[in-house]
Structure 1
Amino acid sequence: MPKQEDLRPYMIPDIFINILLDLDLNNTKKYCTK
């Protein structure tokens, strides 16, 4: 079985992408409503 460290690189990007997408959506909403 792979170590936990080996799994991280594959699992983290999805979380980061989701966070970035959420931030982008929130930012565009703020700018659009101004």
Structure 2
Amino acid sequence: MPDIAIAASFILIILIPCLVAMTSVEKSEPAPTRNR
């Protein structure tokens, strides 16, 4: 089924940049804004 492949590629395309951005943000600054 091509739908599964499309969904998998879509998830990879969306999740990988999100994970990279989250890890890079956590490494650059320890998020001091969430002190509430």
Same fold (TM over 0.5): yes
Which segments of structure 1 move beyond 2 Å, counting only runs of 4 or more?
A: none
1:1-34 matches, within 5 Å, as: 6-34=1-29
| Gaps in structure 1 of 5+ consecutive residues | 1-5
Q: Provide, for residues 1-34 of structure 1, a one-character-per-residue CA deviation record: whole Å limited to 9, x for no partner.
A: xxxxx43222111010111101001001100101
Taking structure 2 as the reference length, the TM-score comes to: 0.62
Alignment root-mean-square deviation, CA: 1.1
Query: Sequence identity, in percent?
Result: 10
Which residue identity is paired with 1:15? Answer: F
Q: Distance in 1 between matches of 2:22 and 2:10?
A: 18
